[in-house]
A and B are shown apart, each in its own frame.
Chain A
Amino acid sequence: MEKIPVLKMGEILLVTIQVDMHDRLAMALQEDLTRMISDTEARGVLIDISSLEIVDSFIGRMLANIAAMSRVLDAETIVVGMQPAVAITLVELGLSLPGVRTALNVDAGMEVLRSSVYGQKGVYDGRIN
């Protein structure tokens, strides 16, 4: 079956969505990510959607679900690289992705995740990044 690959980098899971997803593929990604967070004890999830030409209500809901589920599993999700035309359309559609953290690109997103994942830890065990 078609699958969207998830890469593990330290305590962060990386996903780059590069295909036009049909709904079942989006659902599968949601389930894969949730399972992987729990299996790998990941603390952060970065989803790069810079190749996505649209985000409709279904994909928007998937992103919101992933963010909510990962939060429950003590991991932070950040969605990066949304194209400006997609952002304009999404808001007009009526979706503002409440609860989903975003960053302009992968670099900025990694920065946010690192400081929240490793920064928090630093408080407890003295390790800083």
Chain B
Amino acid sequence: MTVVSTENVPVQTEPDVVAVRRRVREAASRLGFSLVDQTKVVTAASELARNTVIYGGGGSMQLETLNGPRTGLRLIFEDKGPGIADISMALRDGFTTGSGLGLGLGGAKRLVSEFDIFSQPGEGTRVTITRWK
């Protein structure tokens, strides 16, 4: 597997969440994802970007297009916020420490092929998702 291209997108404010959606849509469409797959990965990105802004206090998204045996899109959301104390709890539907529905993390996980979360309380959170074509 090779990383064909990498791009960094700031995720600091609410309008940045909209910009993330647009960038991910463009990349997924350029890779030839079906409309349903595009919609899934854009929706997952929207959830994670919102988490980065609201809970992480802002951060960034790295967008990688992958080639090799398979074509895919990998998105890495990173923030230096307070981190997540209990990841398995955070992934549970309906769990939220904010005012949302608590569907963001678990929902995003269901919409992609691979999901990885790394968080250190006090240091930040990194969520990596991959959607294969």
Binding site for B on A (CB under 8 A): 20-24, 53-58, 60-61, 83-86, 88-90, 92-95
We find that the number of chain B residues with CB closer than 8 angstroms to chain A is 26
Residue pair A89, B103 in contact (C-beta under 8 Å)? no
B133 contacts partner chain A, Cβ-Cβ < 8 Å:
no
Q: Is B46 an interface residue (CB 8 A)?
A: yes
A83–B25 CA distance with the chains assembled, in angstroms:
16
Q: List 6 A-B contacts (CB under 8 A).
A: A22-B18, A53-B21, A61-B101, A89-B111, A93-B111, A94-B103
Nearest opposing residue in chain A for B106, CB measure = A94
Q: How far is the CB of A53 from chain B (nearest CB, A)?
A: 7
Which listed residue (B17, B39, B110) contacts A53, Cβ 8 A? Answer: B39
Residues of B within 8 A of A53 (CB): 21, 25, 39, 42
Q: Could you tell me if B39 and A57 are in contact, using CB atoms closer than 8 angstroms? A: no
Q: Knowing that A85-B39, A88-B40 touch, tell me 5 more A-B residue pairs with CB under 8 angstroms.
A: A22-B14, A22-B17, A24-B14, A53-B39, A57-B101
On whether the beta carbons of A20 and B110 are closer than 8 Å, the reply is no
The one of B14, B22, B42, B107 in contact with A57, judged by C-beta atoms closer than 8 angstroms, is B107
Q: Which of A20, A21, A58 contacts B100 (CB 8 A)?
A: A58
**In this assembly, does B69 line the interface, its C-beta being within 8 Å of a C-beta of chain A?**
no
Most buried by A among B50, B93, B103: B103
Write the nearest CB–CB distance from A41 to chain B, whole angstroms.
30
- Could you tell me the distance in whole angstroms from the C-beta of A26 to the nearest C-beta in chain B? 10
- 8 Å CB contact of B110 from A23, A83, A84, A93: A93
Interfacial chain A residues near B110, Cβ < 8 Å: 92-94
**Once the chains bind, are A89 and B17 in contact (CB under 8 Å)?**
no
User: Hey, which chain B residues are within 8 Å of A24, CB to CB?
Assistant: 14
Contacting residues, chain A, for B50 (C-beta < 8 A): 23, 56, 58
Task: Say yes or no: A23 contacts B103, CB within 8 Å.
Answer: no
Contacts of B93 in A (CB 8 A): 94
Shortest beta-carbon distance from B119 to chain A in Å: 20
Residues of B within 8 A of A61 (CB): 100-101
Q: Which residues of A contact B21 (CB under 8 A)?
A: 20, 53-54
Q: Are A54 and B43 in contact (CB under 8 A)?
A: yes
Instruction: Let me know if A89 and B36 touch, CB within 8 A.
Output: yes
**Cα-based distance from A58 to B43 in the complex (angstroms):** 11
Interface string of B15-51 (1 = CB under 8 A from A): 1011001100100000000011011101100110010
